[in-house]
Structure 1
Amino acid sequence: MQQYDVYIERQKRKRQRLIRRLVLFSLITLIVLGSMAGYHLQQRAVYAEKVEEYEQLEDTLADLEHEELLLEEEIELLQNEDYILDIARTNYFFSKEGELIFKIPDESPSY
């Protein structure tokens, strides 16, 4: 009977050690999985932020490219002497030789 009791006691200890190892392994697994999930969520947030920033930069690039085209057109126009003379005549009241410029007041009455 004593051998049987010793055998039962060993089995209980083995079972307790097994349970402790399983609990420890489970805790380590949960900690690792939890940290991986947290890291994944953090990376998704960073990715979403970077995508938004990329879209804003693409919009800015498109605006700047459009502005560049407009400025290139203006450069081409400013190289034309007739265009420059037209701007000078309309904005600065320059006249051609023998030409008189009269400034006409606005037709809307201001009371």
Structure 2
Amino acid sequence: MSDLWTDIEQAGTLTEPLRAAVVKQYRNRGVRALEALDEQRVQKYLDFWVVVGTRDTYIVDEDFCTCNDFIYRGGSCCHILAVRIAQLTGIFQEYARWYIDERPFYANNQQYL
């Protein structure tokens, strides 16, 4: 039996059989990960990977994600899956800047300063 991640890495792209394997193994999370890739919502910054979701933007760092699915259920959420596939296939938008500088943190959180 072959490993899905090895197969994706060797292919370097998402063939229809590999897409089907992602959905078979990860079900709805796999479908949503593939949608994020297809819609070019996976972004790589100098400091983080970011996936623009349907309700918010999520930061992914290795096997951690800021989404509720990851925080409450753990495991690989659709955002982590999307980033992992993006790393193996090169399907992502790349920005040569720090994501932390993109967020208007200080403007929205003056009470914490």
TM-score range, shorter chain: under 0.3
Q: Which has the higher strand share?
A: 2
Q: Which one scores higher on RCO, CA 8 angstroms, separation ≥ 6?
A: 2
Please, what TM-score do these two structures have when normalized by structure 1?
A: 0.20
Higher gyration radius (CA): 1
More helix by proportion, 1 or 2?
1
